């Protein structure tokens, strides 16, 4: 069986911006001879995410991330369908997902690493298993719940950076559903601002490429900021933290503005921001879903109900074809996506 796959062609360099030439499309022969426990899957959708930029370096800077190897098949979040199985937990036709799905059109995988999903959880929109009802939604929900300390009736203001991205767009909606009276998103275009306010129900949106962020933030958050869902780091986060209230909470989800730089994760703060956190007793803690696996099942059910009822609206940017993985990744790193960046591999 001839299959196409994407391998790491070259590294962008620790401080380099990734380019499509870092990725290479290959055709290989796949022997669909299965041994016990194996499953042949056809890939339906693949995900590209900011954390993958770290995996392009020889040293990812994070102990839980394994670097991609040159000329080896890349991997990440994927969803597909079982075409044949020698694994008791997987049957032909099952929809399955994995965090370490090879970037191939077909693959032989161990059934034990696959999670069987019920298409009814997403009303048949299977790409949502990579986003709103998958790891992205879990990061938004558990991040808000475990580190955000939002309570109904507390008159809290939430600010989300990277608000039109996969995680930020869901986190803001969860903040609103959980009781924040004001949800303000920071993003990088007028189109994104419009989507946040008109489609997702944010109270206001700030375009950091055009607006005077400190002034606009004060206008949008007259009572200060209580909770900050941080997807970007850098100067935007310094600006937000400077306007936070006493005993506020920063949810440290990602630092995309720093991913092309050779700095540790999480990157060091400037002195002024560090002092603000201490003086105002603001918590700022790393958040990782991996530390909350016992809560995942219930959280996925809650996300599924919200998505199916329309209380959470899902934004996606969909690109067709495995040959476009590199282009889609580089576009996402520059903010070319609204919502989750998905690559459709097959029907």
Q: Residue 265: what pLDDT?
A: 61
Q: Nearest 5°: CA angle at 110, between 108 and 114?
A: 105
Distance, CA of 117 to CA of 90 (rounded, Å): 11
Give every residue of the chain whose pLDDT is below 50, as ranges. none
Residue 208 DSSP SS3: coil
Q: Residue 327: what pLDDT?
A: 97
Q: Residue 263: what pLDDT?
A: 54
Residue for token pair 């790193």: 333
Extract the tokens encoding 25. Answer: 């499309």
312 with 340: CB under 8 angstroms?
Answer: no
Residue 98 DSSP SS3: strand
Q: Residue 62: what pLDDT?
A: 79
Distance, CA of 49 to CA of 84 (rounded, Å): 29
Q: Which stretch of DSSP H or E encloses residue 77? A: strand 75-85
277 with 284: CB under 8 angstroms?
Answer: yes
The answer to whether the predicted template modeling score (pTM) of the entire model surpasses 0.75 is: yes
Q: Residue 264: what pLDDT?
A: 60
Q: 287 Cβ partners below 8 Å, 6+ apart?
A: 139, 142, 143, 146, 147, 251, 252, 253
How many alpha carbons fall within 13 Å on the CB side of residue 3?
22
Which residues pair with residue 158 across a beta bridge? 183, 227
Q: Which of 78, 165, 100 is nearest to 340 (CA)?
A: 165
Q: Which of 97, 144, 146 is nearest to 122 (CA)?
A: 97
Alpha helices in 124-233 (DSSP H): 135-143, 166-178, 190-194, 213-220
Distance, CA of 287 to CA of 148 (rounded, Å): 11
- How does 159-179 read in b/e, with b if 16+ C-beta sit within 10 Å? bbbbbbbbbbbbbbbbbbbbe
Give how far the C-alpha of residue 324 lies from the chain's centroid of Cα atoms, to the nearest Å.
19
Give how far the C-alpha of residue 74 lies from the chain's centroid of Cα atoms, to the nearest Å.
17
Q: 108 Cβ partners below 8 Å, 6+ apart?
A: 30, 31, 32, 34, 38, 39, 40, 41
């Amino acid at each position: 069986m001839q299959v196409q796959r994407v391998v790491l062609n070259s590294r962008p360099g620790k401080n380099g911006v990734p380019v499509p030439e870092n990725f290479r499309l290959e055709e290989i022969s796949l022997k669909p001879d299965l041994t016990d426990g194996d499953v042949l899957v056809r890939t339906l959708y693949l995900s590209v995410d900011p954390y993958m930029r770290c995996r392009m370096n020889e040293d990812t800077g994070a102990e839980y991330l394994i670097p991609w190897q040159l000329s080896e098949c890349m991997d990440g979040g994927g969803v597909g369908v079982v075409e044949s199985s020698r694994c008791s937990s997987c049957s032909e036709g099952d929809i399955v997902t994995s965090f370490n799905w090879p970037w191939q059109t077909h693959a032989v995988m161990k059934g034990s690493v696959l999670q069987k999903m019920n298409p009814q959880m997403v009303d048949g929109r299977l790409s949502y298993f990579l986003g709103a009802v998958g790891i992205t939604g879990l990061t938004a929900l558990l991040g808000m719940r475990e580190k955000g300390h939002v309570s109904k009736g507390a008159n809290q203001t939430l600010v989300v950076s990277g608000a039109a991205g996969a995680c930020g767009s869901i986190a803001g909606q969860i903040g609103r559903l959980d009781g924040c009276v004001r949800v303000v998103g920071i993003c990088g275009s007028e189109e994104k601002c419009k989507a946040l306010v008109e489609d997702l129900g944010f109270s206001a949106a700030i375009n950091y490429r055009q607006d005077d962020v400190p002034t606009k933030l004060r206008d949008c958050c007259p009572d200060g900021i209580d909770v900050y869902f941080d997807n970007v780091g850098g100067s935007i986060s310094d600006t937000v933290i400077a306007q936070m209230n006493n005993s506020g909470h920063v949810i440290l989800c990602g630092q995309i503005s720093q991913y092309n730089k050779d700095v540790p994760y999480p990157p060091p703060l400037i002195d002024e921001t560090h002092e603000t956190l201490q003086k105002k007793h603001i918590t700022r803690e790393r958040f990782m879903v991996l530390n909350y696996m016992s809560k995942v099942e219930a959280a996925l059910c809650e996300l599924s109900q919200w998505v199916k009822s329309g209380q959470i609206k899902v934004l996606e940017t969909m690109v067709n074809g495995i040959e476009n993985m590199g282009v889609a990744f580089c576009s996402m790193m520059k903010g070319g996506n609204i919502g989750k960046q998905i690559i459709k591999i097959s029907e």
